[in-house]
A and B are shown apart, each in its own frame.
Chain A
Amino acid sequence: MSLSISPARLFDRFVPQGLVLKLCVLAAVGVLIILPLARIAIETLAPDAVSAWVDVTASPLSRNLLWLPLGNTLILGVGVASGCVLIGGFLAWMVVMTDIPFRRTIGLMATLPFMIPSFATALAWGSLFRNGRVGGQVGFLEGLGLSVPDWLAWGMAPTLIVLIAHYYSLAFTVIAAALATINSDLVEAAQMTGAKRSRIVFGIVLPVALPALVAGASLTFAGAVSNFAAPALLGLPVRMQTMATRLYGMIEIGQTARGYVIAILLIVVSAFFLWFGNKVISGRRSYATITGKGGRAKRFELGAARLPLFTLALFICALTTIVPVTILIASSLAPSSSALLSNWTLHYWIGESTANIAQGQAGIFHNPFIGSAAFTSINLGIVVAITGSILGLLIAFTLARYRKGFLSGTINQVSFLPLLVPGIAFGAAYIALFGAPIGPFPALYGTFALLVIAGTAYLVPFAVQTGRAVIQQVSGDLDESARLTGAGFFRRLTAITVPLASRGLAAGALLIFVKIVRDLSLVVLLFTPTTPILAVLAYRYASEGFTQFANAITVVILVISIAATLLANRLQTKSQPWLQN
Chain B
Amino acid sequence: MKLTSLMISTALATALVAPSAAQDLDAMTPEELLPLAQAEGTVTVYAFTSRIARVETAFEAAYPGIDVIAHDMNSTTQIARIRAENAAGINSVDVVYISDAPVVFSELLASGLIERYVPPRVAGALDDEFTNPLLAQRLSTKVLMYNEAANPDGAPVGNLWALTEPEWRGRVLMVDPLQRGDYLDLMVEFVLRADEMAAAYESHFGTSISLDPGVDNAGVQFITDLFDNDVVLLSSTDDVNTAIGTIDQSNPPVGFTTYSDRRDNEDEGWALQVANEVEPSNGIVFPAVLALAANTQNPAAARLLIDFLMGDDSETGGPGFAPFYVPGDYATRNDIPGHPDAIPLDEFIAWRIDPAATAEIRQEIADLVLMLQ
Known contacts A232-B235, A236-B233, A445-B84; is-contact A136 B244 (Cβ 8 Å) = yes
Query: For residue B373, which residues in chain A have a CB less than 8 angstroms away from its CB?
Result: 64, 239, 241
Contacts between chains A and B (CB distance < 8 A), count: 149
Say yes or no for A17: interface residue by CB 8 A criterion: no
**Complex: A525 Cα to B87 Cα, angstroms:** 14
Stretch at the interface among B5-13, B128-136, B174-182: B174-182
For the complex, count residues of A whose C-beta is within 8 A of B: 55
Chain B residue at minimum C-beta to C-beta distance from A532: B71
Contact B73 A443 (CB under 8 A): no
Say yes or no for B32: interface residue by CB 8 A criterion: no
Which residues B196-240 have CB closer than 8 A to chain A? 232-239
Shortest Cβ distance from residue B263 to the other chain A in the assembled complex, whole angstroms: 9
Please, could you name 23 A-B residue pairs with CB atoms under 8 Å apart, sorted by A?
A61-B370, A63-B371, A134-B232, A135-B171, A135-B173, A136-B242, A137-B246, A250-B178, A253-B76, A253-B178, A254-B76, A335-B267, A337-B242, A338-B242, A359-B53, A360-B57, A361-B50, A435-B84, A435-B88, A530-B92, A540-B73, A543-B236, A545-B238
Which residues A290-346 have CB closer than 8 A to chain B? 335-338
Known contacts A134-B239, A544-B72; is-contact A445 B50 (Cβ 8 Å) = no
Q: Is the contact region of chain A dominated by helix, strand, or loop, or is it mixed? A: loop
Say yes or no for A437: interface residue by CB 8 A criterion: yes
Say yes or no for A101: interface residue by CB 8 A criterion: no
Contact B371 A253 (CB under 8 A): no
**Complex: A359 Cα to B70 Cα, angstroms:** 14
**Complex: A252 Cα to B177 Cα, angstroms:** 11
Say yes or no for B51: interface residue by CB 8 A criterion: yes
Contact A64 B236 (CB under 8 A): no
Say yes or no for A356: interface residue by CB 8 A criterion: yes
Chain B residue at minimum C-beta to C-beta distance from A542: B236
**Complex: A431 Cα to B103 Cα, angstroms:** 21
B73-112 to A contact mask, C-beta < 8 Å, 1/0? 1101001110011011110110000000001000000000
Query: For residue B176, which residues in chain A have a CB less than 8 angstroms away from its CB?
Result: 236, 249
Query: For residue A446, which residues in chain B have a CB less than 8 angstroms away from its CB?
Result: 85, 88, 90, 92
Say yes or no for B310: interface residue by CB 8 A criterion: no
Which residues B332-347 have CB closer than 8 A to chain A? none
Say yes or no for B184: interface residue by CB 8 A criterion: yes
Query: For residue B234, which residues in chain A have a CB less than 8 angstroms away from its CB?
Result: 134, 236-237
B249-280 to A contact mask, C-beta < 8 Å, 1/0? 10011000000000000011100000000000
Query: For residue B80, which residues in chain A have a CB less than 8 angstroms away from its CB?
Result: 251, 254, 525
Query: For residue A254, which residues in chain B have a CB less than 8 angstroms away from its CB?
Result: 76, 79-80, 103
Which residues A227-279 have CB closer than 8 A to chain B? 232-233, 236-237, 239, 241, 248-255
Say yes or no for A194: interface residue by CB 8 A criterion: no
Q: Which of A55, A60, A445 has the most CB of B within 10 A?
A: A445
With A136-B245, A338-B269 known, 14 other A-B pairs at CB within 8 A are: A134-B243, A135-B244, A232-B235, A236-B235, A249-B176, A338-B242, A358-B50, A359-B54, A361-B53, A435-B84, A437-B88, A444-B88, A528-B90, A529-B71
A436-448 to B contact mask, C-beta < 8 Å, 1/0? 1100000111100
Contact B269 A529 (CB under 8 A): no
**Complex: A544 Cα to B72 Cα, angstroms:** 8
Chain A residue at minimum C-beta to C-beta distance from B252: A135
**Complex: A540 Cα to B48 Cα, angstroms:** 11
Known contacts A435-B87, A528-B85, A528-B92; is-contact A545 B79 (Cβ 8 Å) = no
**Complex: A435 Cα to B93 Cα, angstroms:** 16
**Complex: A55 Cα to B367 Cα, angstroms:** 10
Say yes or no for A546: interface residue by CB 8 A criterion: yes
